[in-house]
Structure 1
C-alpha cells in the first residue's frame, strides 16, 4: 500500500488532519504488537486499543499537526523517524500552538511500509530550544 516510509508518514498526518480514522488505521500495521503513546498518556498496545484511542481523539475533529525537523534512520526493512510536531489548536477566543517530539517507527512487510509505533511527548514551549538541542555538534 505504501511504497516508502515517508509515504506512510504523509498519509498518517493527512488522516489526522482530516479526522479520517479509516485512512489512519490503513497506515498502521495489522498487528497486535503495535504501540502508541499519546502525549502524557499511557502506552496503548494492540490494533483494537490503538484504534479506540485515535477514535476518541478524532471524535472532536481533525488535528492540525505540522511535522518538521525530521531525523531519519533507515534500513531495508525498517525506518525510524524522529521529528517535531507543531500542533495548532483553534479555540473560540484564541489560537494556541504546542510542540511535541514524536518518534514514528515503520516496518516493511508484504503490504508495503506500515506504522508499528508512534510515541509523542511534550516538547519545550520555546521554539529556540529546538535549535539548541536538535543540531548535532561539529566533530573535528
Structure 2
C-alpha cells in the first residue's frame, strides 16, 4: 500500500471513529457535520425503512438522540476499504444503551460509506441491522 493509500485509509478510519464519537455524545451538530451535503445520502436504522435525503437522515438522528439517554459502542470485526474517492467500513457494533430507564444490549452488523471531499471524508450511507445468527462458527 502506497503512502497515499495509507493516508486515505487513515482518513476514512478517522471519519468512522468520529461518527461513533458523535453518536455516543448524542451530538447532533457533530453528526450533521459528518454527513455529505448531498440529497442522495441514505440511512437505514435497524428495523427502519430506507431514509433518503439529507433532511430526513439528519432528522432521524435528531429523533434518536432526543429519545436516548446514553449509548456506547464496542466495535469488532472492523474492516475499512478505500477505492479512489470512496471508502467503506464494515463492522459489528456491540451496543449498550439506555432509554426511558430501560437498558438495551444488542449486536448490529453495520456499514458506513464515505466519499472524499475537499472537507475530508463525509458519510453518504449508514446501514445497521441486527445480528441474529452467524453463518460460520468461531474458528472457521
The TM-score, its normalising length taken from structure 1, stands at 0.82
Give the aligned CA root-mean-square deviation in angstroms.
Answer: 2.5
1:112 aligns with 2:120: yes
Query: What is the match of residue 12 of structure 1?
Result: 19
Gaps of at least 5 residues in structure 2 are: 1-7
Structure 2 matches for 1:55-134, cutoff 5 A? 55-60=62-67, 61-90=69-98, 95-124=103-132, 129=134, 132=137
Q: Structure 1 residues 39, 73: CA separation in 2 closer, same or farther (over 3 Å shift)?
A: same
Query: How many matched pairs?
Result: 131
Q: How far has the Cα of 1:66 moved from its partner?
A: 2.1
Q: Distance in 2 between matches of 1:65 and 1:39?
A: 15
Stretches of structure 1 lacking an aligned partner (at least 5 in a row): none
Corresponding position of 2:38:
31
C-alpha deviation, 1:72, in angstroms: 2.1
Moved more, 57-66 or 96-105: 57-66
Deviations for 1:115-134, whole angstroms, at most 9, x for unmatched residues?
A: 1000000112x7xx48737x
Separation in structure 2 between the aligned mates of residue 5 and residue 25 of structure 1, nearest angstrom: 17
- Of residues 16-25 and 73-82 in structure 1, the stretch that sits farther from structure 2 once superposed is 73-82
Q: Runs of 4 or more off by more than 3 Å in structure 1?
A: 90-96
